[in-house]
Each structure stands twice: as structure tokens, then as C-alpha cells.
Amino acid sequence: MRLKPLGTMNERNGVTAQRMRAMIEAGVRTVQQGPGVVPPGIVHRLDKADTAEGTKSVQSIADLGAPYPVLLYERFLGRPYATHRDSVSELVGEVVEVAIKNVLTEAKVSFRETKRAERIPGFDQAPDFIIPDEFTPVALIEAKLTEDDGTARDKVARVQRLRTLRDEQGKDYDVIACIAGRGFKVRREDMRRLLQATDGKVFTLTTMHLLIEHTRITEYKVR
């Protein structure tokens, strides 16, 4: 569609066509409904000139047009929120890492959190966490929150590489994955590979409290 945006789509009844119809129908229903009743102090993305009253607003704008300042509404209103979103995006992305650190700290387990692109001797790619350190590791943790299957696939490949490296070196530390986001739900094959590479040691935000007891990290838990 990028190459021929005005061309006819050959697939009429396949999965792609079904997904496109579902997206269009969902979008049309959302615009038709409008923002509804917006509580005080809340800014709704659809509470603007062309969608505030659903289809009626769309029709009015289509018939009468809109003043230029009205067209700038989204830019005027949206940028302060986008600026805030940009400023906290890294914090949002690190929600899994924060959850891991909370669990390890509460159990008084020593750990080494690596920095981005940090080089660790003995590893061609550094894991996100090493317990207790890179000299005598009993567990390596890869952490990721992702909303797309491409990024999830990259993380699975990293975990598989850590497992291969461990086996080649004859080590016995645990390879662990802590994940979140819908990116890991898209392809079942990716989850199968992840479970195999970690011997089932895959944790989510919901099951993070089980991280210590069900891995070798429990050896370093302060009793």
C-alpha cells in the first residue's frame, strides 16, 4: 500500500482484509460516539470541533468547513501532553526493570544492573541484570516491555543467545526473561522459543513476586 496507495487490494477475504475492516469499523464507531460526557479536569482527544458531537460534528465541518485556528486545535492542545509523554517515555519503558529491582531489593539480593551498550567480559551482549555479579553469576535476566512483535522477536533472540553462550561455556546459571506488553502475545512461536531458552523461567508483572523462589536467585536471598 505504501508503493501503490491508490491501487486495488488483491486480498478481499484474507486476514489482512479482515483486520483492515475491523480497524475501519472501530474508528468509525469511535468517531460516531464522540467523547460522551467528559468529567471535569479531563481532556478528551475527541472533544474538539470536528468530533465533539460525533457524526453531527463531522457532517457540519464537512459541509461548512472550519476556521484555520480550529484546525490548529490538536497542535495547540496536544503538544504539551506529547512533551510530557516524551519526557516520561523512558520511565514507562522501564516499568519491568523497576519491578525486578523492587523484588530483588526487598529480598536483599545483590545484583548488577548493566548500562546500555555496556561491555561485560565473557558476554558478547550484556544481559539487563546479573545476579549477584558477572564474576560468579547464578542468574541472568533479560527485561522488556514491548507493544510490537518485532521488538519482542529481537528480545527473544537475545535470550536465546544468552542460553547458547551459557551452554557453550558449560555454565549452570539460570537464564530468565521478565516481560510485559502485548508484543509478546502476537506470535505464539516467539513465546515457545522464549520458554525453551529459559527452561520456563519467564515472568510477567503479575508473576514477578515468584521470581526469587522459582529460580536460583533464591540462593542469595537473605533469610
Predicted confidence (pLDDT) per residue in 163-202, tens digit: 999 999 999 999 999 999 888 887 888 899 999 999 999 9
Q: What average pLDDT does this structure show over 80-87? A: 59
Residue 1 pLDDT: 67
Q: Which amino acid is at 180?
A: A
- In total, the chain counts a number of residues equal to 223
pLDDT-derived band at 23 (thresholds 50, 70, 90) equals: very high
Higher pLDDT, 169 or 94: 169
Query: Which pTM was predicted?
Result: 0.61
**pLDDT > 80? residue 31:** yes
**Spelled out in words, what is the top-level CATH class assigned to the domain 95-220?**
alpha beta
Average pLDDT, integer, range 135-140: 94
CATH code 3.40.1350 region(s) in the chain: 95-220
Q: Are strands 174-180 and 139-145 parallel, antiparallel or unpaired?
A: parallel
**Dihedral (Cα; 92, 175, 171, 220), 10-degree rounding:** 70
Query: What CA–CA distances, in Å, run from 1 to 15, 16, 44, 155, 166?
Result: 16, 12, 31, 29, 44
pLDDT reading at 212 higher than 90: yes
- Provide the pairing of β-strand 112-113 with 202-203: unpaired
Mean pLDDT, the chain, whole residue set: 85
Instruction: Report the run of H or E that residue 112 belongs to, with start and end.
Output: strand 112-113
